[in-house]
């Protein structure tokens, strides 16, 4: 228990410091991080780096792009991993895409494939924390964080994504459900859409009847 407390304190201090760092790109196209005063803290050595979040530094090895007729074309997507504020590796470079969320969690994708020149699609999404604890195993077609420590989980949907965002395929929305911070499914995916409403409720569309109603965070239906 004492070791775990020390480890958690160490990670917390690291993450708080990491939030002060900003990515930059050198003349050779490599990314590193600077502090608030402009001093280089992590030397440029990565092929892509996401802006700092409140908890970690996400960097990529192997990403390559070219410009053809003024348009960007990705020729290699590389792998994503995570660093602390000293450039030490927290999470190995093994994910095809990552998306930061709050409270030390992030969603990760394995198995994604290129779609066009600027997007990835497919693979499976899961969620882990910086201690590499798996919250949700990589078996969903998309995961999104909701309020109140809840997550939206999707099966059967198709999405296109890159480091800048996610684009859903409206023809293949799949079904949405609700998960908790403990990684358990509170509501199995059965709804065409779930939109956060008020007072711990979602506006839900039933996949079978296409009717709308309210769905609580605990999965209780009201005229859905």
The residues spanned by each domain of the chain are: 1-95
CA distance 37 to 21: 10
Please report, rounded to a whole number, the percentage of residues in the chain having pLDDT higher than 70.
87
- Taking residues 215-224, report their average pLDDT: 68
**E-state strands within 5-56:** 22-25, 31-34, 40-46, 48-49
| pTM reported for the whole predicted model | 0.81
- Taking residues 103-115, report their average pLDDT: 89
- Taking residues 121-125, report their average pLDDT: 98
120-124, 132-136, 153-157: least confident range: 132-136
- Taking residues 97-110, report their average pLDDT: 84
Confidence at 85, pLDDT banded by 50, 70, 90: confident
C-beta neighbour count of 18 within 10 angstroms = 23
At residue 123, the pLDDT reads: 98
At residue 191, the pLDDT reads: 92
At residue 40, the pLDDT reads: 95
- Taking residues 86-99, report their average pLDDT: 90
Identify the three-state secondary structure at position 165.
strand
* Max avg pLDDT among 2-16, 88-102, 157-171: 157-171
- Taking residues 190-219, report their average pLDDT: 83
CA distance 104 to 42: 21
Percent of the chain that is helix, strand, coil (3-state, to 5): 10, 55, 35
Report whether pLDDT(10) > 50: no
At residue 55, the pLDDT reads: 60
CA distance 38 to 24: 10
């Amino acid at each position: 228990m004492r070791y775990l407390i020390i480890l958690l304190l160490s990670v917390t201090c690291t993450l708080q410091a990491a939030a002060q760092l900003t990515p930059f790109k050198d003349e050779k196209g490599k990314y590193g991080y600077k502090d608030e005063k402009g001093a280089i803290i992590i030397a440029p050595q990565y092929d892509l780096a996401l802006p700092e979040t409140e908890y970690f530094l996400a960097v990529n090895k192997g990403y390559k792009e070219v410009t053809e007729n003024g348009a960007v074309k990705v020729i290699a997507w590389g792998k994503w991993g995570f660093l602390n504020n000293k450039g030490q590796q927290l999470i190995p470079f093994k994910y095809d895409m990552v998306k930061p969320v709050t409270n030390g969690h992030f969603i990760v994708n394995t198995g994604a494939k290129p779609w066009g020149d600027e997007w990835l699609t497919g693979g499976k999404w899961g969620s882990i924390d910086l201690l590499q604890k798996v919250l949700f195993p990589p078996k969903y077609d998309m995961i999104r964080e909701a309020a109140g420590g809840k997550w939206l989980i999707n099966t059967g949907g198709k999405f296109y994504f890159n480091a800048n965002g996610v684009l859903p395929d409206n023809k293949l929305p799949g079904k949405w459900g609700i998960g908790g911070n403990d990684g358990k499914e509170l509501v199995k995916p059965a709804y065409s859409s779930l939109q956060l409403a008020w007072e711990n409720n979602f506006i839900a569309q039933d996949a079978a009847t296409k009717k709308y109603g309210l769905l609580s965070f605990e999965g209780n239906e009201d005229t859905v």
